[in-house]
Structure 1
Amino acid sequence: MLDATDRRLLALLQEDATISIADLAERVSLSPTPCWKRVKRLERVGLIRSRVALLDRGALGLDVTVFVAVRTTQHSDEWLQTFAEGVARIPEVVEFYRMSGEVDYLLKVVARDIADYDRIYRKLIKVAPLHDVSSSFAMQEIKSTTALPL
């Protein structure tokens, strides 16, 4: 499905989604029109979901990253729908996963400070009945990327 040129286009767009078609075409050795058509095809088939600006959390005062492990005794579709919809309404939850193993759900939360996280935590525990909530605060970010390996 993907050839080497498509992979190179995707890699370059992951580095900088604002690159012009002319510059992108030059870097993958295509003329602008075929390059543009390839990018449009990659968007149309869903390999490029969107193009976004990545913000600096620290510059925005969101210095605390918290991983929240949630366990529940509820496993019905209705409970999950309620929980998922409630979590979706908390903007500080930037990632949300249903897990296998001992933890049922894992959330990544960004906050200004511990007091701000406590405010978020209080919102979270009101969303749906939970059995256990465990919060782990990141001490240092060693690697964080949105780039997928191609």
Structure 2
Amino acid sequence: MKLDPTQRRILALLQKDSTLSTQALADKVGMSPSPCWRRVKEMEEAGIIRGYVALADRQKLGLGTCVWVRVKLKKHSTEVLDRFEQVVKGYDEVVECYELLGETDCLLKLYLPNLEAFSVFMHNFLLKIPEVDVTHSSVALREIKNETALPL
């Protein structure tokens, strides 16, 4: 689905504040509520809008440590990757996981309370996965930019 300029404006506004009422959203884009609601529903049905969430402040929740872990797997097969994916999906500390091209097979982003929790995670989880060969970790010193809104 290709978005027209009005849909882009609606989506940009919803990415910043998904709690906007249909009336408030319509007012901001200069249209009446019914057609505005239909545009939102079209984007939902097309899967462009996947859902609505509350963004939590990880610092206030005690998750002040952000760690990126690059993982190299022992073998490259569908079975190995499928098993690794299933195990990783079971851990809440892993907030993002990507399969990559190049020397690193997967990249994990973790949010944890502190470095001790990261050590526990590595020793009790990641390093016990038989498919994992080598890991390299980077601890974020500070967050410079973290946006949830996609560029439109």
TM interval, short-chain normalised: over 0.9
Match runs of 1:27-42 below 5 Å: 27-42=28-43
Match runs of 1:1-150 below 5 Å: 1-122=2-123, 123-150=125-152
Cα distance, 1:47 vs. partner?
Answer: 0.4
Superposition TM-score, scaled by structure 2 size: 0.96
Cα displacement string for residues 14-61 of structure 1 (whole angstroms, at most 9, x for unaligned residues): 000001110000001111111111101100000000110000000000
| Counterpart residue identity of residue 93, structure 1 | V
1:73 and 1:127, CA in 2 relative to 1: closer, same or farther beyond 3 A? Answer: closer
Q: Secondary structure at the match of 1:95?
A: strand
User: Which segment drifts farther, 71-80 or 19-28?
Assistant: 71-80
Question: Percent identity over the alignment?
Answer: 46
CA RMSD of aligned residues (A): 0.8
C-alpha distance in 2 between matches for 1:74 and 1:50 = 36
| Counterpart residue identity of residue 121, structure 1 | M
Please say if residues 70 and 103 of structure 1, whose CA atoms lie closer than 8 Å, have aligned partners that are also in contact: yes
C-alpha distance in 1 between matches for 2:130 and 2:66 = 23
C-alpha distance in 2 between matches for 1:61 and 1:51 = 23
Q: Secondary structure at the match of 2:132?
A: coil
Cα distance, 1:72 vs. partner?
Answer: 1.5
Please say if residues 70 and 136 of structure 2, whose CA atoms lie closer than 8 Å, have aligned partners that are also in contact: yes
Q: Which runs of 5+ in 2 are unaligned?
A: none
C-alpha distance in 2 between matches for 1:128 and 1:92 = 19
Superposition TM-score, scaled by structure 1 size: 0.97
Cα distance, 1:128 vs. partner?
Answer: 3.4
Please say if residues 93 and 107 of structure 1, whose CA atoms lie closer than 8 Å, have aligned partners that are also in contact: yes
| Counterpart residue identity of residue 126, structure 2 | L
User: Which segment drifts farther, 121-130 or 78-87?
Assistant: 121-130
C-alpha distance in 2 between matches for 1:92 and 1:128 = 19
Q: Which runs of 5+ in 1 are unaligned?
A: none
Q: Secondary structure at the match of 1:75?
A: coil
Cα distance, 1:127 vs. partner?
Answer: 2.9
